[in-house]
Amino acid sequence: MTSDAGTQLYLELLKKTILFEIWLEHEGGNATPTNRWEGLDWPNIAHSMIGRLRMNQLHEAMDTVLREGIPGDFIETGVWRGGACIFMRGFLKAHGMNNRRVFVADSFEGLPVPDPQYPIDATSTFHTQDFLRVSLPEVKNNFRKYGLLDRQVTFLKGWFKDTLPVAPITQLAIARLDGDMYSSTMDSLNNLYPKLSIGGFLIVDDYSIGYCAAAVHDFRAIHNITDPIIPIDITGIYWRKTK
């Protein structure tokens, strides 16, 4: 087996493990191969709810960053149990890349109460959903289970409006946003997009949620961003920064 083949085999197994695909029959609820593929269920056990299509797109984005030499670190804003960030770190380790970091940004206390500054979020009830609250120790322990908790992983604990403006980030190659709400999405875009490299990937997990989509379109309009939005599945989208 070649080194490249071994790397791809490891990363494929890592995806299967993070998404709990191998043991799906033990998940319960509405976990089916189709729902897990499309990220339509909220897993009882798996470390990510983004599903296989969005995980594959993240993999393809990182492959492109590596192949094209696009500079910068990786970040996800809104990490739940940490699965997508675990995969980011696994990708870097599998490729022997020691010059990039993975930033793991979350309140680790669930989603915020709607901010009156953003009236569109007024009807959001995400802050009442205990299932979305995953503590920092639990996420760190999930990284540890894969042998991927190390100095290339930086945790940013707190609300995005507080942590992202002062985060020790200089340049990004991938920014993956999973904040659900208008406020969380806009805070991420305002603070991270200026640091995204040309050719870098801006990935939005929750585009099907009205609050999130509104923030995306408002930000793109304000900054005259015309790079085409590319759908991943029924909720995820991305575009590549060209200017």
Which residue carries 């509405």 as its tokens? Answer: 30
d(CA 40, CA 124): 19
- Domain annotation covers residue 85: yes
**Can you give the CATH number for the domain in which 72 is found?**
3.40.50.150
- Residue 72, domain extent: 50-240
Give percent above pLDDT 70 in the chain.
99
Q: Which amino acid is at 72?
A: G
What does the pLDDT average to over 154-159?
98
The domain tally of the chain equals 1
Please check the confidence at residue 2 and state whether its pLDDT lies above 80: no
- Domain annotation covers residue 78: yes
Cross-strand partners of 103: 75, 154
Number of H helices, E strands in the chain: 8, 7
d(CA 115, CA 223): 23
- Domain annotation covers residue 143: yes
- Domain annotation covers residue 15: no
Q: How confident is the prediction for the chain on average, in pLDDT?
A: 96
Q: Give pLDDT tens digits for 68-109.
A: 999 999 999 999 999 999 999 999 999 999 999 999 999 999
Q: Give pLDDT tens digits for 164-193.
A: 999 999 999 999 999 999 999 999 999 999
pLDDT of residue 200: 98
- Domain annotation covers residue 148: yes
- Domain annotation covers residue 221: yes
Q: Give pLDDT tens digits for 111-144.
A: 999 999 999 999 999 999 998 999 999 999 999 9
Higher pLDDT, 1 or 157: 157
- Domain annotation covers residue 38: no
List CB contacts of 67: < 8 A, sequence separation 6 or more: none
- Domain annotation covers residue 37: no
Q: Are 154 and 75 in contact (CB under 8 A)?
A: no
Q: Which amino acid is at 91?
A: F
3 pLDDT tier (thresholds 50, 70, 90): low
